[in-house]
Structure 1
Amino acid sequence: MSSADRERFWQQQIGDWQASGLSGIAYCKQHSLTYHRFVYWRKKLTDSGHYPNETSTVTGFARVAPVSGVAATDGLTVSLPGGVSITGLHAGNIELLGAVLRQL
């Protein structure tokens, strides 16, 4: 397989993975791909401008940032993708967050 063929193959795989909604590891297992090669090509193709909307690697961690205009006494606010926010969480009702997230 030529290097151009390899690049086309991985462009297709990365595009299919993005559309799949799966984690990288799950996609690789499902398609019998070697995960470290997948990560290499994802980074290579992202850095070369093939996937300009791909700005960060999915790590399994959530980004945490302070929300302006919210007082510290208002409790914890969790913002989910799609604009959903859960506000007013505190030590007395934090179990509620776990129950809500398990339902998503």
Structure 2
Amino acid sequence: MTTQERVDFWQRQIAYWLASGLSGHAFCKHHDLVYHQFAYWRKKLEQPTTPDSLPGFARVTMPAAIATESGLTLTLPNGISISGLHASNINLLGPIMSLL
């Protein structure tokens, strides 16, 4: 059996199954089909064949670099921002926060 003949056969079986109202297992048992082959072809034939659904590579681009100030910026819920925080002045953050 050629590949196209197998595809045609399973397309017919899937169509018969859909019209039958039976479960996949019951349909296969009634028609002497191997259930795992039936399940394989059902999944294979249900998959869309649009170019967007084909496996492959996707183009990934990095966003443009964002100019930032050196150090960290802490923005509080009330809108106050404290900028320029770094390892040498982080100890000032506690006293500043206590004043707010």
TM-score scaled by length of structure 2? 0.48
TM-score scaled by length of structure 1? 0.46
Structure of higher CA gyration radius: 2
